[in-house]
Homo-oligomer: A and B are copies of this chain.
Amino acid sequence: MDTDGYLNRAKHSTMDAERNCMKKSERSGAFDHIFATTVKEQIGKAGYGDWRTISAPDAVSLGYGFPYPESLPEDDLIEATETVLTDEDEQVLQYGGGSYTEQLETFLADRAHSRGIDCGTSNVLVTNGGTRAIDTICRAFLEPGDSMFVEGPTFMGAISVFRNHGVELTSIGVDADGLDIDALAETLRLREQQGRDSPKLLYTIPTFQNPTGVSLSMDRRKRLLELAEEYDFVIIEDDAYGDLRYTEHDLPPLKALDDTGRVVHIGTFSKTIAPGVRTGWIIATEEILAVLRKLSAGGTNTFTRSLVAHYCTSGKLAANIDAIRRAYGERKDRMQQSLETHMPPTAEWTEPTGGFFVWVTLPAQIDTEEMLVDAAENGVTYLPGSMFFPEDTGNNSLRLSFSYVSPDEIDRGIAALGQTVREWT
């Protein structure tokens, strides 16, 4: 199995890209001198999707947050295509779309309302996926040199989106109750004392966080909103995993507790329908949405959006969420049991009650990026923890996803991981 070369290439992709870039800039076709400053700074650095090079043919993939194959509704999408294109004739395929296109906003507003969010259709903007939503919100608020806060660790895709805006990123720690609010308060207080600006934005995944799986406690949710008001920043609430809870205990989204309009809420169908439909949404005040609409160049894919609307309004979304909650809950339990069985006592891991991920912390001397080559040889891949921090840290941690492979494969993968960690301890 030639995983060594493959994974080494992945590991060193940043350096390679930098070298390539230096060589290529001497040739025709490079216009680096015309690029915007923020773009120049990112040339040759790791970017969105680079993590997809981490794979090994015979290893169990616990790296990617892919939905498991059987959860993807091929037949329902074929049926939705037939229904929508037969019912609506051409409107669905025109600029602006037709009645199905419009129904999606109504469905999302009703659904948000049932989760305690005070909103109507004028507060909902459908987007080409959740990551595009993050980027559009950044466009509205950020300019180069601005400051923003994120969780450390946080979604690696978001970090690369923020970097493209040329902002100064600061991460605030996460523990079993989510974002460390005391640390946040202290950082804000110190910055004020030093005469530095408050962050413009704070990006958080408060429920079943990527990559840790933890949720922000109710008390901390309230304190976060108070701090946003006190220090005058806007919160991006990424609720990608909010529907995927495996216990009865439910926490309200931050947006449901928000009476100032400071929370800009993001949702996505990537986990509850399929990543390939690239359909997400933003819930915010009409004033903020007016700006975001202006920045949504060309608008959404009305065709997919109409299929998704039909899928949702015909009750299939609710049924699918029930089904995948059971399936993911089983996978989550299996991973927890397997970690108990196979990991050495020096390893620690989170105990999520929802989402896709478990975060593992190993003894400080282990570099999980280096360990990945051996892990792949032993039969498992994961994502190294350092990918999830804007700073150069997290080297002894890693993210496991229980979403993609079967429960038995999870067992095999965790056994291989346990063996690898023991070899490295």
Contact = CB atoms under 8 A, between A and B. Distances in A.
A74 B48 contact: no
A86 to B, nearest CB: 7
A48 B297 contact: yes
Interface in A288-304: 288, 290-291, 293-304
B47 A72 contact: no
Contacts of A131: 297-299
A69 B88 CA distance: 11
A232 B96 CA distance: 38
Given A31-B261, A77-B85, A299-B49, A93 B276 contact: yes
A338 interface: no
B261 A29 contact: yes
Interface in A374-422: none
Contacts of A72: 90, 93-94
Interface in A252-286: 259-262, 270, 274-278, 285-286
Interface string A25-57: 100111110111111001100011100100000
Contacts of A297: 48, 131-132, 134-135, 157, 161, 164
A85 B93 contact: no
B30 A77 contact: no
A173 interface: no
Contacts of A304: 301, 303-304
Contacts of A295: 39, 164
B48 A277 contact: no
23 contacts: A24-B286, A28-B259, A29-B260, A35-B140, A36-B141, A43-B290, A49-B293, A72-B94, A74-B89, A81-B81, A92-B276, A93-B275, A93-B277, A95-B275, A97-B276, A128-B278, A131-B297, A132-B298, A139-B164, A275-B302, A276-B303, A276-B306, A278-B302
A181 interface: no
B36 A139 contact: yes
A92 B66 CA distance: 12
Contact of A278 (B39, B143, B303): B303
Interface of A: 21, 24-25, 28-32, 34-39, 42-43, 47-49, 52, 64, 66-67, 69-70, 72, 74-75, 77-78, 81-82, 85-86, 89-90, 92-97, 128-132, 134-135, 139-144, 157, 160-161, 164, 200, 232-234, 259-262, 270, 274-278, 285-288, 290-291, 293-304, 306
A97 to B, nearest CB: 6
A177 to B, nearest CB: 28
Nearest to A79: B81
B94 A274 contact: yes
Contact of A287 (B29, B93, B134): B29
A298 B157 contact: yes
Contacts of A21: 287, 290
Contacts of A30: 261, 285, 287-288
A380 B210 CA distance: 54
5 shortest A-B CB distances, which residue pairs?
A131-B298, A29-B285, A135-B297, A29-B261, A93-B274
A100 to B, nearest CB: 11
A341 B386 CA distance: 72
A130 B164 CA distance: 21
A307 to B, nearest CB: 9
B81 A35 contact: no
A74 B52 contact: no
Contacts of A85: 74-75, 77-78
A298 B278 contact: yes
A74 B96 contact: no
Instruction: From A161, A261, A275, A276, name the one whose CB has the most chain B CB atoms within 10 angstroms.
Output: A276
A262 to B, nearest CB: 7
A276 B35 contact: no
Contacts of A128: 128, 132, 278, 298, 301
B81 A48 contact: no
